Amino acid sequence: MLRPARPTSKGSAERTIGYAETSFLPLRTFTSLADLQAQHDSWAAEVAWQRVIRGKGRVADRHAAERCVLQPLPDPLPDTDLQVEARVGKDSFVRICDVDYSVPPTFVGRRVAARVSPATVRLACEGREIAVHRRSFVPADVVLDPAHGRAIRLAREARDRLAKGEPELGPIDLARYDALWEAPA
């Protein structure tokens, strides 16, 4: 177990991340998390696992030697979903992990709870689920549910009509109300 605030004690982990960032990620694009995993697995088998580390052997051979002492993952697996709370903006979107996700316009200004898994973003308000979106890993992306888009458009049109003033109403015929009072009971 590594103690906090001691960056020099985790150099091998940081070097591995740096190697992946400089050797695997540049000039690649991914359509989904599964696509990223598939590209990584192919790259790892062809490139990363074949390299020799400081004359001590190939990465694949060293991993095979260590694998016999690794412990199995716990069952059930721990909950790793990110859980955050955010406020819905005036535009009916909530920003989670640098991506804007739509919600129904009735939730503007309210706080919502977000549960972010590798595949989905689930949004809830006061314990009731209000939206489920596919997760996007593209910074500044906008994920819009078509039903939310229609509701946002209708709300905007209604707001514009109200801003113009009272609607014009024709003369009201009150004779039908008189007829109700005169009707026999």
The whole-number average pLDDT for the span 20-49 is 87
Does residue 185 lie within any of the structural domains? Answer: no
| Residue that terminates a domain, selected from 7, 40, 66 | 66
Looking at the fold, whether 89 and 62 belong to one and the same domain comes out as: no
Does residue 122 lie within any of the structural domains? Answer: yes
Looking at the fold, whether 103 and 135 belong to one and the same domain comes out as: yes
Does residue 31 lie within any of the structural domains? Answer: yes
Domain that includes residue 92, residue range:
82-163
- What burial letters (b/e) apply to 116-151, b meaning 16+ CB within 10 Å? beeeebbbebeeeebbebebbeeeeeebebeebeeb
Looking at the fold, whether 157 and 88 belong to one and the same domain comes out as: yes
Percent of the chain's residues with pLDDT above 90: 41
Span 122-171, pLDDT tens digits: 999 999 999 999 999 888 999 999 999 999 999 988 888 888 887 677 78
Pair type for strands 99-102 and 142-143: parallel
- What burial letters (b/e) apply to 69-90, b meaning 16+ CB within 10 Å? eeeeeeeeeeeeeeeeeeebee
CB atoms near residue 173 (< 10 Å): 8
Looking at the fold, whether 117 and 145 belong to one and the same domain comes out as: yes
Span 108-132, pLDDT tens digits: 999 999 999 989 999 999 999 999 9
Helix ranges (DSSP H) in the chain: 11-23, 33-46, 59-67, 146-164, 175-182
DSSP characters over 75-96: SSPPP--EEEEEEPPTTSEEEE
Residue labelled with tokens 């809830």:
124
Residue 29 has pLDDT above 80, yes or no: yes
State residue 135's pLDDT score. 93
State residue 127's pLDDT score. 93
Looking at the fold, whether 60 and 100 belong to one and the same domain comes out as: no
Looking at the fold, whether 29 and 57 belong to one and the same domain comes out as: yes
Q: How many domains does the chain have?
A: 2
Where is average pLDDT lowest: 10-14, 71-75, 98-102?
Answer: 10-14
Percent of the chain's residues with pLDDT above 70: 90
Does residue 7 lie within any of the structural domains? Answer: no
Reported confidence tier of residue 25, pLDDT bands at 50, 70, 90:
confident
Backbone torsions φ then ψ of 128, nearest 5 degrees: -105, 125
Does residue 32 lie within any of the structural domains? Answer: yes
User: Is the pTM value of this prediction over 0.75?
Assistant: no
Looking at the fold, whether 158 and 91 belong to one and the same domain comes out as: yes
